[in-house]
Structure formats: C-alpha cells, structure tokens
Amino acid sequence: MAGASGGRSLEETPTWAVAVVCFVLVLISIIIEHIIHLIAKWLKKKHKRALYEALEKIKSELMLLGFISLLLTVGQSPISNICISKSLGATWHPCSKEEETESNNNKAEEETDSETGGRKLLSMLSDSGGSFRRILASGSSTDKCAERDKVSFVSKDGIHQLHIFIFVLAVFHVLYCVLTLALGRAKMRRWKHWETETRTAEYQFSHDPERFRFARDTSFGRRHLSFWTKTPALMWIVCFFRQFVRSVPKVDYLTLRHGFIMAHLAPQSHQKFDFQKYIKRSLEEDFKVVVGISPPIWFFAVIFLLFNTHGWKSYLWLPFIPLVIILLVGTKLQVIITKMALRIIERGEVVKGVPVVQPGDDLFWFNRPSLLLYLINFVLFQNAFQLAFFAWAWYEFGLRSCFHRHVEDIVIRISMG
C-alpha cells in the first residue's frame, strides 16, 4: 500500500535505504540502552538504591510513552477515518478563524510556487509506466470524510504531530526531574558546613543540654515566636514571604536536627549522626516518587490540552496554576515549622537545652504529609508539560504561531516553567 501522503511505498524504495534507516534506529536504541545500563550499574556500585529505583521508574515511564506512540501509529488510519460533522469539527480550535485562514493562504502560496516544478516532474514521470500509475493513484486518493461532506476526527498529519509532542514531553519531563534533583543537592551543600559545626566544642558549649532558657530567648524562638504568630492570617503572610529568602536557615536546620535525634536516636548519637546525609537520602527517596507520572497527573495534562483553545486566553491563567500550587506548598512548610515552635511554648515557657520540636501528621493538610509531595510531583510535570508544549509548537508551527501569537504568551510560558 502506498503512503498516505502520496509518497513512495516500500515497493518503490531501495532496500539499502530501508536498511540504513533501520540500522541507525537500532544503533541509537542500543546506545541509549547501554548508557542507562551503565548508569544503573554505577548506582548499584554506589549503593544508591532509591536513585536506582527512580531510574527504573523513568524507564517504565518512557516505555509507557513509547506504548502510547505505538498505539497512535497502529490506530492512525482508524482514527483518521472517523468522520464528524463540519460544524462539530469547527469548535474549540486553538487558532481563530482569521489565523486559520491566514495559515491556509500561506500554504496555498507555497503550493502555487512549487506547481511549475511539479508539472515538470509530472511530465518526466509520465513515461515511466506502472510505477508512476501506482504513485498517481495513491496521490489522488480522495478523503473518505470529504466525500461525505464531513471532516476527520483527527487527521493523519495531526496524529504525526502528536507523536512528536509525546517525544518532546518525555525528554522535558526527564530533564526537569534530573535538574530538580541536582538543584536540591546543590542547595544542601551549605548544610554540610552546618553539620560539621555540630562536632565542634563551640557548638557544644552554646547548646549545653543542661542549660535552662526561656523558649522565646532561643535562636529558634526569636525567629518564629513573635507578635505575628498570634494571628493566623498574619502568620501565613509572613511565612509566604519567608520562603523566598533563606527558606532553610541555620537555626531551623539545627533545631530540626536536634528534634529528629531526640525522637529517633539515643542522645549519645548527637555528635556522630550525619543529619545532612540522612536528608540527602530522603531527597533521593522523594525523587523516586516525583519522577513518576500517575494517572491523575495524566488526566490533568489532558485537561490542559483541552483548555488550550482560542477565546479562553489560557496563556494568561493556565501556566500560573503550578506557580500558585508551589507557592502554597512553600508557605505551608514554613507554617508547619512555625506551628512546631508554638507547640514548644504550649509545653512550657522554659526549655532545657535546645528546644525540641515535635512534628505530626496533623500539621499537614488532611493529615497527609504525602499530599505535599504529590503536589510537587504535579507541579514538576505540569512545568515540563508547558515547556515541552512551547518547544513542540515552535518546532512544528514556528515561534509566532497561533499558539504563541502574543509576546506575553511566550514570556509567561518560559518564565513560569
């Protein structure tokens, strides 16, 4: 069967060309698989169990995306042969009718420019016999939906463009997760200095476990116990701005470290325990979660595609949803630390040694700490989705297509991502 666009089928294609294409594709696949195998081997050698599981999850996600692409390939003809009425096919377009008309006119001009060359090619092939007749029959095949005065549910060109978008989305999602892990580890490098400081004599003297102090006079108390903590609304406002400036200061790190040791380890482990290393392992465990794409996140991605239509001005509000969510998560984490400080006051005005914080599930939304991690996972995927959509639209339709007709649309998508 000849190609859908009137090109040569494999019957008229040199076998060496087919072999070269297959060889290149297989070679690239083997190289990528070998690189992933080397990374997995290195992670096992370094005893990075969480990162190894994250790598396996990335492989499964890539396999899922590949399976979706395979389904699109197999279902290309059946999907394109589904016919709907023209009135229904004219609804919810990403471009306005004026932009569609302008785009069609540009395509018509390009076809007109190449018509002369096409006629010359036609005359050259007119003497080539049966091979030409097969190509001509393929190129002149009529649209089944057009014969019924209808349009395709999704055209074959549209399915091909969707193929490319899935590939771009997979690349951006993996890069986004890896970049987030790298930035998190880079931020924690400064904590290594604080961890080393806990082994010095100066630290032991300033944090004497037998010393009694007012809770408000401690460094942790002076940071979190003030007049603004008495009003919930004011506390949320202060915590909102705190996430932008030193979201994890030294006093919070040392206090949370002390509270963790008192809750889970023996007091003698205070100097030996490396809390920064424990947090790094916890980050790797969390990375194993956020790198995955759950069914609800896929559902929201489809919703984002649905509302990316002309008239909804989605470029003015859609990219801001992940921003609002991540700001709420950052504020909530600051509020949790502040509430742990308030619990110290509730237990007594005077503390012995370093204030001991007591976290609990009741400090989180719906008593579910995992909800914050899920929201971070959602934001990571949606930001990768926004940037992937921008890169795909740029590649397929140009920078100033109807997807990004406005300059503010380009600025918002890139800056929010």
CA 109 – CA 113 distance, rounded (Å)? 6
Contact (CB, 8 A) for 329 and 376: yes
Exposed/middle/buried for 54, CB within 10 Å: 0-12, 13-18, 19+? Answer: buried
Share of residues in the chain with pLDDT > 90 (%): 2
Give the mean pLDDT of 170-190.
83
CA atoms within 13 A on the CB side of 367: 1
User: Which three-class secondary structure state does DSSP give residue 13?
Assistant: coil
The predicted pLDDT at position 349 comes to: 73
Q: Which residue has the higher pLDDT, 163 or 216?
A: 163
Q: Would you give the distance in Å from CA 300 to the centre of its chain? A: 12
CA 277 – CA 289 distance, rounded (Å)? 19
80-130 pLDDT, tens digit per residue, is: 888 888 888 778 777 767 666 666 555 555 555 555 554 544 444 444 444
Res 279 pLDDT > 70: yes
Res 395 pLDDT > 80: yes
Res 234 pLDDT > 80: yes
User: Which three-class secondary structure state does DSSP give residue 409?
Assistant: helix
Share of residues in the chain with pLDDT > 70 (%): 84
Residues 6+ apart with CB under 8 A from 41: none
The predicted pLDDT at position 51 comes to: 82
The predicted pLDDT at position 120 comes to: 45
User: Cβ–Cβ contacts within 10 Å for residue 223, how many?
Assistant: 16
CA 162 – CA 50 distance, rounded (Å)? 33
The predicted pLDDT at position 328 comes to: 92
CA 366 – CA 358 distance, rounded (Å)? 18
Q: Which residue has the tokens 């004011």?
A: 234
Confidence tier at 332 by pLDDT (50, 70, 90): very high
- Which range has the top average pLDDT, 29-38, 86-95, 149-158, 253-262? 29-38
53-89 pLDDT, tens digit per residue, is: 888 888 888 888 888 888 888 888 888 888 888 888 7
Give the mean pLDDT of 20-25.
88
Give the mean pLDDT of 199-226.
74
Q: Which residue has the higher pLDDT, 242 or 272?
A: 242
Q: Which residue has the tokens 């904590």?
A: 191
CA 18 – CA 16 distance, rounded (Å)? 5
- Nearest CA among 345, 344, 375 for reference residue 359: 344
The predicted pLDDT at position 199 comes to: 80
Q: How open is the CA angle 182-69-31, to the nearest 5 degrees?
A: 55
Res 330 pLDDT > 50: yes
- Both tokens of 152, joined, read 């395709």
DSSP secondary structure letter of residue 215: G
Q: For the CA atoms of 42, 46, 52, 54, what is the dihedral angle to 10 degrees?
A: -110
The predicted pLDDT at position 99 comes to: 63
The predicted pLDDT at position 126 comes to: 46
CA 197 – CA 201 distance, rounded (Å)? 9
| DSSP annotation string for 154-208 | S-HHHHHHHHHHHHHHHHHHHHHHHHHHHHHHHHTHHHHHHHHHTTSHHHHHHT-
* Arithmetic mean of pLDDT over the chain: 78
Res 1 pLDDT > 50: no
Contact (CB, 8 A) for 293 and 174: no
Res 150 pLDDT > 80: yes
Residues 6+ apart with CB under 8 A from 141: 6
Res 144 pLDDT > 70: yes
Give the mean pLDDT of 151-177.
84
- Which range has the top average pLDDT, 107-111, 205-209, 284-288? 284-288
Give the mean pLDDT of 125-141.
43
- Both tokens of 214, joined, read 């007012």
Full-prediction pTM beyond 0.85? no
Res 139 pLDDT > 60: no
Res 133 pLDDT > 60: no
**Which amino acid belongs to residue 49?**
R
